[in-house]
Amino acid sequence: MVVNIKYKKMKKLLLVAAILLSHTINAQTVDEILTTYYENIGGLENLKKVKGVKMTAKVNQQGMEIPLEIYQMSDGKQMTVISFQGKEIKQGVFDGETLWSHNFMTMKAEKSDAEATENMKLNSNDFPDSFIDYKEKGYTVELLGKETIDGTETFKIKIIKEPITVDGKKEDDTSYYFFDTENFVPIAIQSQIKSGPSKGMTQEITMSDYQEVEGLYFPFSMTQGLKDQPQKQPITITEIKLNPEVNDTLFAFPTEE
């Protein structure tokens, strides 16, 4: 009996707390959510000090395991290095000016089209996180409300960055971030696919397995796919290195041998 009463009391107490809490959540503004987010993942100042990251990862496609190395630098330089049968194939390499990839047939470097390159340049100010100093960058950020993602309640935040060019026409660069209402970290990002065969569909990236690296938390597991569609592609990150030593020449478009 005693147990039962205690249980009821506790339930009541928790209910009160829950109501209080829901008030707190309702009153959240975008900036409060972002502030809590940065606090929870190790502090905005620490995050801003990061000069670059190197992620070692794996994707599994039809039983084929593909090792990846992803570099992202604070000045916008980036690349993904894929290893196939001991050969390195670079994809999405950007040195600040030129965006290029290796052609899978010839394994030679080829430049991406001018539009893609110009759009990539616009992302140079987004390291390590698009939301940092979003006002100074002229971005529009808005809390749209709550939405259930992966069975979990999230804050849905819209961010509009510099307009990009799609097939010759200017379009808003809009993404939707979903911050877990419990941990205040993003667990999903959605954005509309702007060109190619899936144009008009919504892409979804989910993030989990946040783990600490030198005092900062990063998601070590991601999936990528179309919103609401099964068969999302998992990416498992085995290691994240902060401020990696990388020679700038690795990002540069190679001259023909």
Partner 1 sequence: MKKVLFISLNLILLACIPLYAQKQNTKGKQLFGDLSARHIGPALMSGRINDLENHPTNNRIIYAGTAGGGVWKSNDGGVTFNPIFDKYCQSIGALEIDPGNPDNIIYVGTGETWTRNSVSIGDGLYKSVDGGVTWNKLGFDKSERIANIIVNPKNSKEIYVGVLGALWGDSQERGVFKSTDGGITWSKILYTNKKTGCADLAMDPKNPNVLYASMWEFRRTGWSFESGGDHSALYKSVDGGATWNKIHNGFPEGKLGRLAIAVAPSNPNVLYTVIEAEKNERKGLYRSNDAGASWQQLNNDFGITVRPFYFSRIVVDPKNEDVVVKAGLSGSISRDGGKTFKNLGNMHSDIHDITFDINDSDRMYAGTDGGVYRSLNGGTTMEIVENLPLSQFYHISVDNAEPYNIYGGLQDNGSWYGPSSSSGGIQARDWNSVGYGDGFRVLKHPTKNIIYSEMQGADNVWRYDVDNKRVKTIEPLPQKGYPKLRFNWNAPMAISTHQPDRFYMGSQFLHKSEDMGNTWEIISPDLTTNNPLKQNQEHSGGLSKDNSGAENHTTIFTIAESTLDEHIIWVGTDDGNVQITKDGGKTWENTSQNIPNLPEGIWTYHIEPSVFNKGTAYVVFDGHTMNDMKPYAYKTTDFGKTWTNIITDDVIGFVRNIQEDYVNPDLLFLGTEFGLYITINGGESWSKFTNNMPAVAVHFIDLQKKTNDLVMGTHGRGVIIIDDISPLREINKEMLAKKVHFFKPKPTIINEEGSFSGSFGRETQFIGSNPTKSAQIKYHLNRRHTFGKMTLEIQDEKGTTISKLGPGKSKGINIVNWNYRLKQPKVAKGKTFSFGGFTSPLVKAGTYTVVLKKGKDTYTSKIDLIYDPNSKLTSSDRAFKHNTIMKMYNMSEALAYMVYELDAITKKAIELKKQKLVNKLMGLKETLVITSGDNYVGSAEPQLREKMTDLYSKIASSYDKPSDAELENLSIIEERFENAQKTYSKIKKKISFLEDLNLKSVEEFLE
Interface residue list for partner 1 (CB under 8 A): 11, 14, 17-18, 20-21, 24, 36, 39, 58, 60, 62-65, 84-87, 104-107, 144, 148, 150-152, 158, 169, 171-172, 174, 176, 180, 182-183, 185, 187, 192, 197, 199-202, 206, 208-211, 217, 220-221, 223, 228-231, 234-236
Using the minimum distance from each CB to partner 1, give the nearer residue, 73 or 185.
185
Using the minimum distance from each CB to partner 1, give the nearer residue, 124 or 181.
181
The nearest distance, CB 235 to partner 1, in angstroms, is 7
The nearest distance, CB 187 to partner 1, in angstroms, is 6
SS3 7: helix
Using the minimum distance from each CB to partner 1, give the nearer residue, 95 or 180.
180
What DSSP character marks residue 246? -
**CA gap 32, 244 in Å, rounded:** 31
Give phi and psi for 122, each to the nearest 5: -65, -20
* CA distances in angstroms from 52 to 13, 28, 73, 102, 175, listed in the order given: 46, 31, 4, 23, 23
Using the minimum distance from each CB to partner 1, give the nearer residue, 56 or 243.
56
As a whole number of Å, the end-to-end CA separation of the chain is 84
Q: Tell me which residue has tokens 């961010």.
A: 159
* CA distances in angstroms from 55 to 21, 58, 68, 174, 242, listed in the order given: 37, 10, 8, 25, 9
The nearest distance, CB 68 to partner 1, in angstroms, is 13
Contact, 111 vs 120, CB < 8 A?
A: no
The nearest distance, CB 165 to partner 1, in angstroms, is 14
Using the minimum distance from each CB to partner 1, give the nearer residue, 74 or 101.
101
Using the minimum distance from each CB to partner 1, give the nearer residue, 20 or 114.
20
* Entry field: residues in the chain: 257
Using the minimum distance from each CB to partner 1, give the nearer residue, 51 or 84.
84
The nearest distance, CB 245 to partner 1, in angstroms, is 21
The nearest distance, CB 45 to partner 1, in angstroms, is 15
The nearest distance, CB 122 to partner 1, in angstroms, is 18
* CA distances in angstroms from 25 to 145, 178, 179, 233, 244, listed in the order given: 10, 14, 12, 32, 38
